Amino acid sequence: MKLIWLGHGSFRLEIADKVILLDPFLTGNPMFPADRRAEAIAGATHIFVTHGHGDHLADVVPVAKELGIPVFGMVELMKWVADQGGVETTGFNKGGTVDIGGVKVTMVHATHSSASDGPNGPVYMGSESGFIIEGEGHSIYFSGDTDVMADMKIFHDLHKPDIGILCAGGHYTMDMRRAAYAAKTFFDFKTLVPMHYRTFPLLEQSADLLKAELPGVDVIEPEVLEAIAL
C-alpha cells in the first residue's frame, strides 16, 4: 500500500488494486508541480471528496471526466458534481459504507463547513465529512477538514484505525497541538501523516510539535509526490 501526498489536503492512495484520489486539489495548489499532473492521476480508479471547498473540490470534475472514473461523497455534494455533466457519482452519508471491491470506505463526521462560490453567493454543498478506509489489513482515518471531536472515540472503537491522516495546519482546521491531543486522547495510531499544512504562510509549517507530543507514533512528514509505503 502506498500513500502519496499531492500537497495541502490531497492524496493518492494505492490500496489493494485500487488507486483512490482523496480531495484532489491540483490546479492552483501552490505545493503541487503542475507539470506532474499526469503522474499524479495516472491509473486512478475512484475519487472521494470530503466537502465542497475549492481547495478540496477543484479538480474533482475535470479529473473524473478525463479518466472516466466515479466520484463518491456527501449526497448533496454529489448532486452538484453530477449536475456538471458527464460524471458518475455515488452519494452517501455519515455512517454509510461503500465497498469498491476489497476496499471499504465509511463516511464519518467532521466539524467544519462546506460551501462553494456561486453567482449569487455561497452554494450549500452538504455537510462536511471524513472517511475510514479499510483494506489490505489496515484501517485508515482520513480526517478531512475538522477540529477535535469527541466523535473520534467512536471512530476508534468501531474501526480501530492504525493509520491517521490528520489535518493539522490551524486557522481553518485543528493545529498541531490539537491534532496531537486528538491522536493521544482518542486513537492508537501506529503511523500518523499530517496534512493541510505548509500550503500557505498562515498555516503551520512544521510537524515538530506533533512528533514531540507523540513519541510512540511514527509521525511522517510527507513530501509532495514521494510515496510513503504503509
The residues pairing with 89 across neighbouring beta strands, listed in sequence order, are 71
**12 pLDDT higher than 90:** yes
pLDDT at 155 over 90: yes
Rounded average pLDDT over 15-40: 97
CA dist 134 and 9 (Å) reads 19
- What pLDDT does 121 receive? 83
Q: Which single residue is written with the C-alpha cell 481547495?
A: 55
pLDDT at 118: 79
List the beta strands (DSSP E) in the chain.
2-5, 11-15, 18-22, 46-48, 71-74, 89-92, 97-99, 104-109, 115-118, 121-124, 129-135, 138-142, 163-167, 191-195, 218-219, 227-229
pLDDT at residue 227, as a whole number: 98
Which amino acid type is present at position 154? I
Q: Please report the pLDDT score of residue 116 as a whole number.
A: 84
Percent of the chain with pLDDT over 70: 100
Q: What is the dihedral of CA 193, 27, 111, 92, to 10 degrees?
A: -100
Whole-prediction pTM: 0.97
Domains belonging to the chain, first-starting first, are 2-229 (3.60.15.10)
pLDDT digits (tens, 9 = 90+) for 29-52: 999 999 999 999 999 999 999 999
Cα separations in angstroms, 125 against 54, 80, 81, 134, 142: 11, 7, 10, 26, 19
Tell me what pLDDT residue 82 has: 97
Buried b (16+ CB within 10 A) or exposed e, 192-216: bbbbbbbbeeebbeebeebbebbee
pLDDT at position 80 over 90: yes
- Residue-level pLDDT at 49: 98
Q: How far apart are CA 162 and CA 104, in angstroms?
A: 15
Answer whether residue 135 shows pLDDT above 90.
Answer: yes
Q: What's the pLDDT score for residue 196?
A: 98
Q: How many helices (H) and strands (E) does the chain have?
A: 7, 16
Rounded average pLDDT over 113-120: 86
CB 26 within 8 A of CB 58: yes
Q: How many Å apart are CA 61 and CA 28, to the nearest integer?
A: 15
**pLDDT tens-place string over residues 173-220:** 999 999 999 999 999 999 999 999 999 999 999 999 999 999 999 999
pLDDT score, position 123: 85
pLDDT surpasses 90 at 163: yes
Please name the residue ranges forming H helices in 44-164: 54-57, 60-67, 75-83, 151-159
The pLDDT assigned to 122 comes to 85
Mean pLDDT of the chain: 97
Biggest distance spanned by C-alpha atoms of the chain: 50
The closest alpha carbon to 31, from 221, 170, 207, 200, belongs to 200
CA-to-CA distance for 142 and 156, rounded, in angstroms? 12
